[in-house]
Amino acid sequence: MALRQVALSGARWVLAARVGLQLVTWPITLLVMRLLDPADYGVFAIALLVSGFITLFSELGLGVALVQAPALGEHQTRMAVTLVLMLNAMIALVIIVLAPVIAVFFDEPEVTPVMRMLTLELFIAAMAMVPLALLERALKFKPVSLGHLAGGVAGSVATLGAALMGAGVWALVAGALTSALGRSAVWIMFHGGVVWPGRLRMDTIRPMVRVSGHALATRFLWYWSGQADQLVLGRLLHVSALGFYNVSAQLAMLPAGKVMEAVNRIAFPILSRLQSDLREVQLTHRSAAALLALYGFSVCWGLASIAPEFVGVVLGEKWRQAALPLAMLSIVAPLRMLSAFNNSVTTAIGMPQAATYEQVLACILLPSAVGVGAYLDGLHGAAWAWSLAYPPVFLFSNWLTARAMNTSQFAMLRTVTRPVVAGLCMVASVYGCRALLTNALPEFLRLASAILVGAITYLGVLWIIARPLLRDAWKLGCDLLHPRRDAN
């Protein structure tokens, strides 16, 4: 019960920060999309594709290990700072040297200065890595949430200001660096100051190597499986097509990604404390997975069903080609969300290899499917590939997680069955609504009608087939909105 109250307190802060952040950043993001060209997003995507991949190694997975470790001392945290700073300096040098080669490979000269400027984020994040890990380990979700809020708002404002000044792709760079600086400053302040480097002693940090190694491997494989599609498209298609795909991918994963970032930030440290009580872990996973499915299949499949109207009304006519990729990528978004949660659970209970194995399969299937799809049908083929290749990855993740928790994989699948059925009914109702209203109303009214019909259908079907799940969601909402006494 004490951990439940801590989790609810953390969820309130995370929810408040996320809602507040989205209220500020969503209008700014959509405005920036109208100000910038698809080519600007394409150049930024290429720069992030390479520099982002290299920076996966920037903290050696030590953040996860610091949170999960049963015991932790000051000498270990100071040594972690030393390792991260040394590694990040080497990574920055590698990026600076490789940037011109990458620009030639993609035939985009502007990629070179963008990649080099983004190396500043390495040093900003390095100083905040240990303070953030220690805040999470102590279950202090309030300062963690405030850091994300401050960084997101500062980054969005910086991006908008630079875009209004005609900075092009540099508006996105300015936003990324400002966001990192804002987050880091808040986390360091709440921690009580900077954690300074200490002397290296491998015998001290060796107990954390196993967890950090698997965390690093999983992160590497996750990045490759999620970004290889853009690498393929960067070579096969024009940079504008890559911009369409990049924006579609961001929008498709935005509802799921924001929620999963918040859920994992709370669930991982709490499940790490419960790792010795497997029965409690099973119950927690079952309850959380059902609620995540309730949210994911409604929002993500809803976005998939209204993608043509959404793109036309919200993004504008020049983004019309993004409609099909947005729909296809939104279809698999709930499965990616549930797989990410499975990986957090298995890592928290001391079975990080399960997440590694799942990502190995994803790295094999997804790039291959995207490559074949892009070869056969360009942008649309790559989008369709995700909807065909990711379900086997999710089923494998489900099986690995069931083994790690010593439970039945079919029982885990039953947890999400009812939201899937309600989601399919919702999609069918939206398509029926579109068929009836074609050209009869302005596009924004068709969009509003489709959203209303879809929401009513989804909730109605769940009321018939999954009323206890709706009650659980309602109870959770009431607990979040009516706090008793926060634990932090």
Chain position carrying tokens 């590698």: 94
Helix, strand, coil % in the chain, rounded to nearest 5: 90, 0, 10
Sequence-ordered list of residues with C-beta below 8 angstroms from that of 50, at least 6 positions apart, any chain = 95, 98, 102, 115
**3-state secondary structure (DSSP) of residue 145:** helix
CA atoms of 241 and 104, how far apart (whole Å): 19
Sign of CA dihedral 382, 385, 387, 393: negative
CA–CA distance, 304 with 314 (Å, rounded to integer):
14
What's residue 206's pLDDT? 62
The residue type of 141 is F
Separation CA 433–CA 451 (nearest Å) = 10
The 10 Å Cβ neighbour count of residue 410 is 9
User: What's residue 70's pLDDT?
Assistant: 64
What 3-state DSSP class applies to 381? Answer: helix
Residues in Cβ contact with 250 at an 8 Å cutoff, skipping those fewer than 6 apart: none
Q: Where are the domains of the chain?
A: 1-200, 216-488
pLDDT score for 299:
92
* Separate counts of helices (H) and strands (E) for the chain: 18, 0
Which residue, 450, 394, 460, is CA-closest to 427? 450
Return the pLDDT at 485.
47
Asked whether 151 and 182 are in contact (CB, 8 A), the reply is yes
Q: Supply the DSSP symbol for 313.
A: I
| Helix boundaries (H) for 165-238 | 169-191, 202-205, 209-236
H helices within 55-73, ranges in order? 62-68
Residues in the chain: 488
- CA distance linking residue 243 with residue 33, whole number of Å: 11
The whole-angstrom distance between residue 370's C-alpha and the CA centroid of its chain comes to 20
Q: How far apart are CA 186 and CA 127, in angstroms?
A: 12
pLDDT of amino acid 25: 80
pLDDT score for 224: 67
| Exposure b/e, 200-220, CB count within 10 A at least 16 = b | eeeeebeebeebbbbbbbbbb
Cβ count near 461 (within 10 Å): 19
Return d(Cα 334, Cα 171) in angstroms, integer.
Answer: 31
Which amino acid does the sequence have at 439?
N
> Going residue by residue through the chain (488 aa), what tens digit of pLDDT does each one get?
566 677 777 777 777 777 777 778 878 887 888 888 878 888 888 887 766 666 566 666 666 667 766 667 777 777 778 778 888 888 888 888 988 988 888 888 888 999 889 888 888 888 888 888 888 887 788 888 888 889 989 999 999 999 998 888 899 999 989 998 998 999 999 988 888 877 766 666 666 665 666 666 666 676 666 666 666 666 666 666 777 777 788 888 877 777 777 777 777 777 777 767 778 888 888 888 999 999 999 999 999 999 888 888 887 777 888 888 899 999 999 999 999 899 888 888 878 788 888 888 888 888 888 878 878 887 788 888 888 889 999 999 999 999 888 888 888 888 899 999 999 999 999 988 888 876 667 888 888 889 999 999 999 999 999 999 999 888 877 777 766 544 44
The answer to whether 373 touches 382, Cβ cutoff 8 Å, is yes
Choose among 293, 406, 391: nearest CA to 341.
293
- Residues near 462 by beta carbon (within 8 Å), at least 6 away in sequence: 294, 418, 419, 422, 469, 470
Amino acid 459: pLDDT: 94
